[in-house]
């Protein structure tokens, strides 16, 4: 843990749960087209005023899912030269694993930053 994280108080249970839901709502993409973007966007919009922790984690989740969507679109284009199939599989597995890790960390009250994320929403 960094010094900054040790100084911050642990968010309450409800706040941690909503932050976790912001991350895990991306799993809606398994059942709903564009659910990976819609889930985090709706939850973040509904709960961002609740607590700064929920706001920060909601933005982080949405930024990550936007990055994954852009990378997936590039993979679909690369499927014309076969390599896109392999890259898309890597992205899908990586996104699933990182989303679950982020949800667990948020539920523990630890601010999570996804690696390799283009942070469009500040």
- Write out residues in the chain with pLDDT < 50, as ranges: 1, 3
Mean residue pLDDT across the chain: 89
Predicted local distance difference test score (pLDDT) of residue 19: 92
Q: For residue 44, give the nearest of 32, 28, 56 by alpha carbon.
A: 56
Give 26-40 pLDDT, tens digit per residue.
Answer: 998 888 888 889 999
The Cα-based distances of 57 to 26, 28, 77, 85 in angstroms read: 13, 17, 30, 30
Residues 6+ apart with CB under 8 A from 13: none
pLDDT value, residue 8: 66
Q: Tokens in use for 91?
A: 């992205």
pLDDT at residue 6, as a whole number: 56
Q: Determine the pLDDT at residue 114.
A: 92
- 35-47 vs 13-24: helix axis angle to the nearest 10? 160
């Amino acid at each position: 843990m960094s010094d900054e994280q040790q100084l911050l108080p642990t968010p309450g249970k409800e706040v941690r749960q909503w932050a976790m839901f912001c991350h895990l709502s991306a799993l809606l993409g398994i059942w709903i087209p564009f659910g990976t973007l819609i889930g985090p966007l709706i939850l973040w919009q509904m709960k961002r005023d609740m607590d700064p922790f929920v706001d920060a984690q909601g933005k982080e989740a949405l930024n990550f899912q936007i990055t994954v969507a852009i990378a997936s679109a590039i993979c679909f284009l690369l499927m014309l030269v076969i390599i896109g199939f392999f890259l898309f599989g890597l992205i899908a597995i990586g996104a699933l694993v990182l989303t679950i890790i982020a949800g667990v960390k948020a539920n523990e009250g630890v601010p999570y930053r996804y690696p390799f994320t283009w942070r469009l929403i500040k």
